[in-house]
Amino acid sequence: MNFKKKRILVTGACGTIGSEITKKLLNLGATVCAFDISENGLFALQKKYKVKHKRNIKIFLGSIRSIERLSKAMNKVDYVIHCAALKHVEISEYNSFESVLTNIVGVQNIIDAALKNNVQKVLFTSSDKAVNPSSVMGTTKLMGEKLIIAANNYTGRKLTRFASVRFGNVLDSNGSVIKVFKKQISEKQSLTITSDKMTRYFINIEQAIDLCFFSLNEMLGGEIFFPKMKSFNIVNLAKALSKNNNPKIKITKPSIGEKFYEELVTDSEASRTVSLKSYFVVVPEMNDDSPNFFKKIKKKYTGLKKINEPSRSDKKLLSLNEIKDLLKKSKLL
């Protein structure tokens, strides 16, 4: 996909993923509308690119809870990559309606503003926590996915299309367990883990960015894309980072809503999830009332191998040495 001379809105542009997407788009010649609620984050972003990309970065301070602000920011925008969200499980449990306003109402505002401005493509960044969710955060992400899929049903004659990506845990992103462990290691504290049974899917930042660009290029509307991710036990991650096979570990207790393992697809999704070289695609459900362009989706993925069964992060775990190798490749060890 050629991004030169394209105008792209990135929400959550000051976050770990949003800022990396912004950087890559600017380097590809796109004009980026960097949208975020963080004034300090936007100031830093503007300062960072004020010389090399001054003409191509547009700073938009605002909240996705405001459809009026989003509508103005989407003026003449070609694509939207929606990264803004409340993402912390424990905080969302105690501030549940705030999560609803941002992660559900905010997504609907993105949809409505995109349709109003005839945006070509909207890509929503979701999470594996949306699969069989046990937390408020996961539930709001699931609802966000549902809204994005449903949005394709009422585009009418508009060319706007909507799709989603699912991330696992992004290595060394803001608030990630790796950052927590690194801080504890540097301060010579015990490494805190909520349970020795905890397993998670992980991808590095580069894989997350590649997934977004691949999906934006390939999407026809209604798909959910996710990468072929590795999973490992959090105890082994702690061991790998500490460079000690027997580090001091303090077992606390799981947070409210926290699962021992994550999943990538539900039972009902597995039968319509196809395998590509590096990614999986959940093909949208279709019936006689589905939009005509859904036929193109069905044709595109017909004949590809299906996974046919759910996948869980507590299966096929990486060994301690494999985790160390992965961290070294990601320049985190």
Mapped to the 3 state alphabet, what secondary structure does the chain carry?
A: CCCCCCEEEEECCCCHHHHHHHHHHHHCCCEEEEEECCHHHHHHHHHHCCCCCCCCEEEEECCCCCHHHHHHHCCCCCEEEECCCCCCHHHHHHCHHHHHHHHHHHHHHHHHHHHHCCCCEEEEEEEHHHCCCCCHHHHHHHHHHHHHHHHHHHCCCCCCEEEEEEECEECCCCCCHHHHHHHHHHCCCCEEECCCCCEEEEECHHHHHHHHHHHHHHCCCCCEEEECCEEEEHHHHHHHHHCCCCCCEEECCCCCCCCCCCECCCHHHHCCEEECCCEEEECCCCCCCCCCCHHHHHHHHCCCCECCCCCECCCCCCCHHHHHHHHHHCCCC
- Catalytic residue numbers? 129
